[in-house]
A and B are shown apart, each in its own frame.
Chain A
Amino acid sequence: MNASAEDVDAALAGRNIEAIVIGASAGGVDALVELLPALPSGFGPATVCILHVPADRESRLAELFAARLALPVREALDKAPVEGGTVYFAGAGYHLSIERDRVFSISCEPPVHYARPAIDLLMESAADAYGAGLAGILLTGANTDGADGMRRIRQRGGLTVVQDPREAQAPTMPEGAIRLCEPHLVLPLAAIRALLPQLEKII
């Protein structure tokens, strides 16, 4: 059951989104290719994307998307301030977190759900840093990373959006989050695409 237009309006009412974290695994690059170009030039919030990529392969995602997006695209560097209007990608081989003073930090703790970077760790730390000012979006993936992170975002008052598992290339990840966190919105990718530009409105 996808969310209706009224559900979307209700979920967005009164929000002031400062940052968006988007997590994905298997099929995630394709999903982001469809999603991210919807971010308009001058978009206010920071957007942080985290995909599971092999640790031994240097992540080229920032380069890949830089050419396709209207916004500046960067790899998230250790101790770099999280700036609005910028799209960031987590690098390979390290966990990525956002500190309370809103700088990125990286770490070498063991993998979580076999993943480093792990979506859970980024989302949990971002939930601590932004509280209700955070939106979490979880897309296609073949493991259950992200479910705990989405739950923390929800607990901290943030907005939670999950891709409809029926259309996801790999349904396990969205299904896991739906079970654990009862997201505000479950939407097909096209509807998430339409939602993205609305996230900077203060309603």
Chain B
Amino acid sequence: MKHPLDDTDIELRMLIEAVYLKYNYDFRDYTGASQKRRVLVALREMDCATISELQAKVLHQPEAFTRLLQFLTIPVTEMFRDPEYHAALRSQVVPHLSTYASLKFWVAGCSTGEEVYSLAILLHEEGLLERSIIYATDINPESLDSARRGVFQLDRMRLYTENYQKAGGKRAFSDYYTAAYGGALFERFLVENVTFADHSLATDSVFSETHFISCRNVMIYFNRRLQNRVLGLFHESLCHRGFLALGSKESIDFSTHANRFESIARRERIFRKAAE
């Protein structure tokens, strides 16, 4: 027997519905536990006693919605996160990609861009960046602005350098950024072929054929229904035998699309569109 909803759960559902109806941001199929925690944090930060109060504020003040959006999305990421994944990209995916004259990548749910810059550095070192177009999409305009700027916290560079080296980096990591004003400004050539764009995995459709999609630690916040939708989008976007990369603890085993992808690096969570 399931435990009945309490007031907080009811209010939460109504807030998410209001956000959808008013602003067309669809969080209805996000997983409940993490979403609840993040809304409760927003409540404190936005000086609201109840979620109902927050709902009223968000409905009547668009700027309050902009603030809430920062809590509803999860901008926690790092450069070369999971070095062994990036090493596997170099050894197992790059040889296939190198056979194409031009390449399209999609970093879905790119957040503040760490994953995009990591991919661009890797492609640069493998000699593929110049023939690549990277679409980097997210629903959060503030995150996209950060990603476009390409300035990351200087105190993160030690971790990122370590990650980069473990991932098989071929140069000094500091070659790629300039330290200024307490931030690390990344080289502009890295994002010359990157298109940052607003795109919702929950409501938008496929916009291009791609050879490689990275969507790491994004779908963990989605329930199975939304995961199925997104994997369907990816399958549609990927070219014949295209590649899909997920986060290190993600699984497609529970999806209706499980059989449409095959695993090529099990631990690193790299998949390939199955031949049909």
- A interface with B by C-beta (< 8 Å): 77-80, 91, 93-95, 97-101, 103, 105-110, 121, 124-125, 128-133, 156
Contacts and interface: CB of A to CB of B under 8 A. Distances in A.
B72 to A, nearest CB: 12
Contacts of A107: 31, 33-34, 74, 220-221
B49 interface: no
Interface of B: 1-4, 9, 31-34, 36-38, 74, 76-77, 217, 220-221, 223-224, 227, 248-251, 253-254
30 contacts: A78-B251, A79-B223, A80-B254, A91-B249, A93-B249, A94-B249, A95-B34, A97-B33, A97-B34, A98-B33, A99-B31, A99-B223, A101-B223, A105-B221, A107-B220, A107-B221, A108-B74, A108-B77, A108-B220, A109-B34, A109-B37, A121-B37, A125-B33, A128-B9, A128-B32, A128-B33, A128-B36, A129-B3, A130-B3, A131-B3
A128 to B, nearest CB: 7
B37 A79 contact: no
Contacts of A99: 31-33, 223
Given A97-B34, A108-B217, A109-B38, A79 B254 contact: yes
Given A99-B33, A107-B33, A109-B74, 9 more contacts: A78-B250, A97-B34, A103-B224, A108-B220, A121-B37, A128-B32, A129-B2, A130-B3, A133-B1
B36 to A, nearest CB: 8
A106 B254 CA distance: 14
B2 A100 contact: yes
Contacts of B74: 107-109
Contact of A132 (B3, B32, B250): B3
Nearest to A132: B3
A94 B81 CA distance: 13
Contacts of B31: 97, 99, 105, 107
B81 to A, nearest CB: 9
A131 B3 CA distance: 5
Contacts of A100: 2-3, 32
Contact of A109 (B76, B224, B248, B249): B76
Given A100-B2, A132-B3, A79 B224 contact: yes
B112 to A, nearest CB: 13
CB-CB nearest 6 A-B residue pairs: A131-B3, A97-B33, A125-B33, A107-B34, A105-B31, A108-B76
Contacts of A110: 76
Given A97-B34, A99-B33, A110-B76, A105 B3 contact: no
Contacts of B220: 78, 94, 105-108
A185 B41 CA distance: 31
A78 B249 contact: yes
Contacts of B227: 79
B3 A128 contact: yes
Contacts of A128: 3, 9, 32-33, 36
A71 B107 CA distance: 40
A97 B32 CA distance: 9
Nearest to A157: B3
A93 B248 CA distance: 10
A54 to B, nearest CB: 14
B84 to A, nearest CB: 10
B251 A80 contact: yes
B229 to A, nearest CB: 14
